[in-house]
Structure 1
Amino acid sequence: MPRGDKSKYTGKQKRKAAKIEQGYRRKGISEDEAERRAWATVNKMDQGGKKPGGSGRGKAIDKSPAREGGRKGGRAKAARNSGRKTKR
């Protein structure tokens, strides 16, 4: 299997990578870098391709990258809105 081959990834993993890549593109990151980061995130979460064949099947999904991104986004939003809050 040549380097960069995505044949062992499921459709769900490919969709996940595409969605992550879109998020990076919205932040202004170049297309190549966004794709690289997206697949790195999918690999970290799923430990590589999930299609049958080879070793390492049945591992749990590591959600720490998504959790970390959510925390960062939440903090950023809270910082942006802190001056706009009104007292009731």
Structure 2
Amino acid sequence: MFYRVKDVTPLAEYRLQVRFVNGETKQYDVKPLFDEWEAFKALTHTAGLFEQVRVDAHGYGVCWNDDIDLECNELYERGISITA
């Protein structure tokens, strides 16, 4: 099952607030990825890049550029639910 992304907002300390098509909202911490994937380190080294996050085509994830992206299921399954 795909948990398609409706919109994404960059937050402080390299966190994302992700709203899904099903109405749920989650926060996802990007910081652990800096140690796992070399490409993600660019988010800390390039001024303003983290804030350029956007929903990719058809909501199947979010991306920053051609090298840095996250799929919708990763965001949903590892994100922390936010209650309104």
Q: TM-score, normalised by structure 1?
A: 0.27
> Between Structure 1 and Structure 2, whose CA radius of gyration is higher?
1
- The structure in which a higher percent of residues are strand is 2
Greater RCO, 1 or 2 (C-alpha within 8 Å, sep 6+) = 2
Q: TM-score, normalised by structure 2?
A: 0.28
- The structure in which a higher percent of residues are helix is 1
